[in-house]
């Protein structure tokens, strides 16, 4: 198959449509062919929406947004459209054939941008862990090495974008679920500020403000343009981030002044070392940032190291796990029990059910005051640089339901991904960037976190790093794009 589209980002594909050099249907058909060529190995797409996508591509009323005619994928958790099946990675919903009766606001905004979803992507059960290998959907495999995890919980989306199946895919993040798979798969993964992207009309917030919506992409410009398309409050939202003063796709081209950037090298809890490959990725990032004129120093908020924070984060996560199981039981008319869910999920549910209402409110209030202690550090600094993960992408099976006990699983989650969840708690924006590959050709991401509402600054710095250390031409083992001519 001669497919000239796979290596192009969403911005470039939209330009081809706009200039009349191709059609939305041609792009959709090519993307569907890439799914069919790779998905048996990748396991990235779990619900094809091919015919609806072709119908949408043929529609002359297809919105003329910035990504008009560009095929994409939506994670099988959140971002729903009326009539499309939605499983949230769990067997009960998948077997019931559940389909939401209405569109989410995010789906409406993606559609208004001109994006065409061709399927839904793999996710762990309810997005509750950092690898994508549920018993309901099977594993998503890392295109850089299919024996390794894609990360989670947006692992199917990340696998598909990294493998050039589509240039952009929906992702969401309650404790790192955009940034973790972006790191594991060599992508740009921007977690927006709390309240930047509405969760309406179904939710005012999720996980009491921990969850936000976004995308994974291969280019910074696609991340910026997507954020322009989906940002902004919805009717009745409980809070909203300050609106940007200029479109992100314009702001990202501005060169920021010399910034003061702190570096976080060690774990927030415990004495286990951060992997040498992740330290090497930090050194590459520091060198690039200094070459761009920024001041980089060993500094981080002291509050990040308070051991109570991850304990109380777990209180919020487990109680909301208990709540979502109740919701699924109602949707399916089932008296949900441990036989219906994975052992790790049920372990979290039981922990959540044991939390009193007063303890829940106490955890939330403590994390709010802790967030103020963390955020105050940005009064003297502009960005915080850290590894995204504490090790290279793990092998499949290390965190699977059949491998580790629930307690082991939970301990390994915090061991593998200690740097992401703090910024879900504080609500600050953070981005993972693919600046380094180790000796096994596995991507190692670095994370930059900014003050609340400063996605513009993150995108400016990310664009500078992309120019300094471009990654677009790096191709994984499993790659759906036609190889470039020599």
* CB crowding 322-358: b at 16 or more within 10 Å, else e: bebbeebeeebeeebeeebbbebbbbbbebbeebeee
157 Cβ partners below 8 Å, 6+ apart?
44, 73, 75, 121, 169, 170, 171, 181, 216
Are residues 482 and 38 in contact, defined by beta-carbon separation less than 8 angstroms? no
Three-class DSSP category at 465: helix
Phi-psi bin for 272: left (phi > 0), alpha (psi -120 to 50), beta? Answer: beta
191 is catalytic: no
Q: Which of 87, 134, 149, 153 is catalytic?
A: 153
Helix axes 105-112, 220-230, angle to 10 degrees: 120
User: Which H or E run includes 45?
Assistant: strand 45-48
**DSSP H or E run through 316:** helix 308-332
Euclidean distance between CA atoms 214 and 198, whole angstroms: 10
Burial 84-108 (b: 16+ CB within 10 A, else e): bbbbbbbbbbbebebebeebbbbbb
CB contact at 8 A, 6 and 480: yes
- Distance between CA atoms of residues 463 and 470, nearest Å: 10
Instruction: Judge whether 177 counts as a catalytic residue.
Output: yes
How many Cα atoms within 13 Å fall on the side-chain side of residue 367?
Answer: 26
How many residues can be counted in the chain?
Answer: 486
Q: What letter would DSSP give residue 473? A: T
What is the gyration radius of the CA atoms in the chain, in angstroms?
Answer: 21
Which one of the listed residues 154, 177, 198, 432 is annotated catalytic?
Answer: 177
The answer to whether the Cα torsion of 222, 212, 425, 428 is positive or negative is positive
Short-list 217, 248, 224, 243, CA closest to 232: 243
- Listed in sequence order, the residues at least 6 apart from 113 whose beta carbon sits closer than 8 Å to its beta carbon are 63, 65, 66, 67, 68, 226, 229, 230
169 three-state secondary structure: strand
> Which of the residues are catalytic?
75, 153, 177
């Amino acid at each position: 198959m001669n497919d000239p589209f796979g290596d192009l980002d969403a911005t470039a594909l939209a330009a081809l449509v706009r200039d009349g050099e191709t059609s939305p249907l041609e792009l959709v058909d090519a993307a569907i062919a890439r799914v069919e060529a790779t998905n048996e190995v990748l396991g990235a797409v779990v619900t094809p929406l091919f015919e609806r996508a072709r119908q949408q591509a043929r529609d002359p009323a297809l919105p003329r947004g910035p990504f008009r005619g560009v095929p994409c994928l939506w994670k099988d958790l959140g971002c729903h459209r009326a009539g499309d099946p939605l499983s949230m990675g769990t067997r009960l919903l998948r077997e019931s054939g559940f389909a939401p009766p209405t569109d989410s606001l995010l789906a409406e905004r993606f559609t208004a941008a001109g994006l065409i979803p061709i399927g839904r992507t793999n996710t762990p059960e309810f997005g509750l862990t950092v690898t994508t290998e549920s018993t309901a959907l099977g594993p998503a495999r890392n295109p850089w090495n299919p024996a390794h995890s894609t990360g989670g919980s947006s692992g199917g989306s990340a696998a598909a974008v990294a493998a050039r199946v589509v240039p952009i895919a929906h992702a969401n993040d309650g404790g790192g679920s955009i940034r973790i798979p972006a790191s594991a798969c060599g992508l740009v993964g921007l977690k927006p500020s709390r309240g930047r992207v509405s969760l309406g009309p179904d939710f005012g917030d999720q996980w009491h403000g921990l969850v936000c919506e976004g995308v994974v992409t291969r280019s910074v410009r696609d991340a910026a343009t997507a954020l322009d398309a989906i940002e902004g409050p919805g009717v009745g939202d409980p809070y909203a981030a300050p609106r940007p003063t200029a479109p992100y796709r314009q702001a990202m081209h501005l060169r920021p002044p010399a910034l003061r950037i702190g570096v976080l090298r060690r774990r927030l809890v415990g004495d286990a070392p951060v992997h040498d490959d992740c330290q090497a990725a930090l050194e590459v990032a520091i060198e690039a940032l200094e070459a761009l004129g920024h001041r980089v120093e060993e500094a981080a908020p002291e509050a990040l190291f308070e051991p109570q924070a991850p304990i109380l984060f777990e209180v919020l996560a487990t109680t909301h796990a208990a709540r979502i199981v109740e919701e699924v039981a109602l949707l399916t008319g089932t008296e949900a029990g441990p036989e219906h869910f994975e052992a790790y999920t049920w372990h979290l549910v039981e922990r959540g059910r044991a939390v009193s209402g007063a303890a829940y409110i106490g955890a939330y209030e403590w994390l709010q005051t802790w967030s103020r202690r963390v955020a105050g550090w940005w009064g003297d600094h502009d960005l915080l640089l850290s590894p995204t993960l504490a090790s290279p992408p793990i092998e499949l099976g290390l965190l699977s339901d059949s491998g580790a006990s629930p307690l082991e699983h939970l301990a390994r989650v915090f061991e593998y991904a200690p740097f992401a969840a703090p910024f879900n708690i504080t609500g600050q924006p953070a981005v993972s960037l693919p600046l380094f590959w180790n000796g096994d050709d596995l991507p190692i991401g670095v994370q930059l976190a900014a003050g609340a509402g400063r996605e513009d600054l993150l995108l400016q710095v990310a664009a500078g790093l992309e120019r300094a250390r471009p990654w677009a031409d790096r191709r994984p083992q499993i790659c759906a794009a036609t190889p470039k001519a020599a």
